[in-house]
Structure 1
Amino acid sequence: MTQARKTDRPARSDALQNRERILKVALVELARSADVPLSAIAKQAGVGQGTLYRHFPTREALVMEVYRYEMGQVVHFAELLLAKYPPDQALERWMHRLAEYAMTKAGLADAIRTVSSVREWPGNGGYAPVIAAAQLLLDANERAGTLRAGITTDDFFLATAGIWQIDFSTDWEPRLAWLINFVMQGLRAGAPVNSVSS
């Protein structure tokens, strides 16, 4: 019994490591091209195609898992920022991160669109982690009084819609910084903290 447990652990550990390697490679390769063959991903990850298909039986399964992983990182980043910065600064930095994510994951977005055309995509369900992260940051700001009261996630994403119109193939950093600063000024206007200090 003890011997079985000892041999099980490395097997499980190897399987997890294989899965992580596949996801890391898929993240890079799908960002480059939505049409990358799964065999190329398996080769780059140093696993056989059989191993890849055991973890991800279809292209859709792999793309969605990569997407979920990335969305999880976006949420985790919001939590880290809140632990380190005041809520309004955390929100501002998170907006920068979200824009950088959109810029660097264009190929992944293409892959997701391709998958979505094959099978129904449940509306905004895939964006739920991003919406949850924004809600977390807005709630923290409301408690701190650093933004005007009553801002919803719908309001927030509507206010930041211009960010997604930026042409990221040009010199986008100054334009992004200006736009985020402009949005933050609007969100901070009329905040209880600002009202007290003025």
Structure 2
Amino acid sequence: MTADKPLRADAQRKRDALLATAREVFDAGGFFDLRFDDFARLAGVGTGTLYRHFPTREALAEAVYHGEIAALCDRVRQLRDELPASEALATFLRGMVEHIAAHEGLARTLSTLMTTRAAALAEGSRALEQAVTDLVAAAVRDGTVRDDVGAGAVMMALHGISAGHDRPGWRAEADDVITLLLDGLRRPL
């Protein structure tokens, strides 16, 4: 399969079924508990189809990750189009806490993969950081966010929130960190 050649409709459905199954398994926290061939059975496809689309467990995990990143970047664009810049930023950051909470199994799997596949996942991190940079820049341009704090600091806060997801009371603390971040980004009067 090449990235340039579009998939036939049935092949795309099977690929999508494998990705949906992997997302479900991630969210349940059992990605490493299953034999790789079990993903095919759970998705209702043959093992040949699994290996044709995703030759390794890591390739499947990377595809799920890149799909999640694409969805988050699309969400940023949608918010930028629909809301004032500072509101779009706040909505996105609060939504990221929801996303992290809903996908903590994915976060655990990715942290395991990062030790060996960091370069393969870096492209997605750069895409998300660029989307956040665009959000912050729009809020700076409209004068609601200070111009001396960059998107890198926002991303670092999100990484910290994600890394602490096993803490008791994580959700309330994560919401508090977002509130602190938004207060700190607000341009002083």
Into which bin does the TM-score normalised by the smaller protein fall?
A: 0.7 to 0.9
Paired residues, number: 181
Contact 2:101–2:171 (Cα < 8 Å) also in 1? no
Structure 1 81/14 Cα, relative in aligned 2: closer, same or farther at 3 Å?
same
Counting aligned pairs with the same residue, the percent is 29
Change (3 A) 1:130 1:59: same
Alignment match, 1:4: none
Render the CA deviation track for 1:14-37: whole Å, top value 9, x for unaligned.
001111111111111123223122
**Change beyond 3 A, Cα 1:167–1:115:** closer
The separation in 2 between residues aligned to 1:156 and 1:140, in whole angstroms, is: 14
Equivalent residue in structure 2 for 1:153, among 151, 154, 174: 151
**1:103 corresponds to which residue?**
101
**Aligned-residue offset at 1:168:** 5.5
Matched residue, 1:33: 30
Q: Which has the larger radius of gyration?
A: 1
> Partners of 2:105 and 2:99 in 1: how far apart?
11
Q: Distance in 1 between matches of 2:176 and 2:110?
A: 30
Match among 62, 79, 86 for residue 88 of structure 1? 86
Quick check: 1:166–1:172 contact (8 Å CA) kept in 2? Answer: yes
Q: How does 1:50-129 map to 2 (within 5 A)?
A: 50-117=48-115, 119-122=116-119, 124-129=122-127
Q: Secondary structure of the residue that 1:98 maps to in structure 2? A: helix
Structure 1 stretch displaced more, 49-58 or 158-167: 158-167
Q: What is aligned with 1:15?
A: 11
Q: Which moved more, 1:17-26 or 1:103-112?
A: 103-112
CA distance in 1, matches of 2:118, 2:160: 25
Task: Tell me how far 1:50 sits from its aligned partner.
Answer: 0.7
Secondary structure of 1:189 counterpart? coil
Change (3 A) 1:158 1:57: closer
Cα distance in 2, alignment partners of residues 130 and 92 from structure 1: 16
> Greater shift after overlay, 69-78 or 29-38?
29-38
RMSD after superposition: 2.5
Post-superposition shift, 1:160?
A: 5.3
Closer, same or farther in 2 for the Cα pair 1:83/1:168, shift >3 Å? farther
Q: Note if contact 2:144-2:187 (Cα within 8 Å) is conserved in structure 1.
A: no
Aligned to 2:41: 43
TM-score with structure 1 setting the length: 0.79
- Is the contact between residue 22 and residue 31 of structure 2 (CA under 8 Å) also seen in structure 1? no
Whether the 8 Å contact between 2:93 and 2:178 is mirrored in structure 1 is yes
Residues 60 and 97 of structure 1: is their aligned pair in 2 closer, same or farther, counting only changes over 3 Å? same
Q: Which residue of 1 is the match for residue 135 of structure 2?
A: 137
